[in-house]
Amino acid sequence: MGRIWLSILTAFAVSYVIRVLPLTLIRKPIKNRFLRSFLYYVPYVTLAVMTFPAIVEATELPAAGTAALVVGIVVAWRGGSLIQVAAACCAVVLLLEAIL
């Protein structure tokens, strides 16, 4: 088998173990208050860390990415669905990059 295929399989094996191990090993509700709180915060913090400043750097013009961030926050704050928020962000970038 080629080196590329072996590399892909290696990455898959490691990713799969990382993803499935906690799910299969942790069978009971975690009682520890600190751990429970920690796991409650993790998803929001991870997503926030990955969103900024990455969204500003994802577009051709940083101003468009910044505008997408602001508009996205406003739409999400007002209760916009997943699709609505994502579409609003895309539309702002399309519009701004066409104008600027």
Residues 33-62 that bind another protein (CB under 8 A): 33-55, 58-61
Q: If binding is defined by CB under 8 A, does position 100 make contact with another protein?
A: no
Least separation in angstroms between residue 84's CB and another protein is 8
Q: Give the C-alpha distances (Å, rounded to integers) separating 18 from 25, 54, 55, 81, 95.
A: 11, 25, 27, 30, 40
How many residues line the site for another protein (CB under 8 A)?
Answer: 80
Q: Is the peptide bond between 29 and the residue preceding it cis, with omega within 30 degrees of 0?
A: no
1-20 binders of another protein (CB under 8 A): 3-16, 18-20
Could you say which of 1, 63, 76, 99 contacts another protein (CB under 8 A)? 76
Return all residues near 96 (Cβ < 8 A) that are at least 6 apart: 61, 63, 64, 67
If one asks whether residue 88 binds another protein (CB under 8 A), the answer comes out as yes
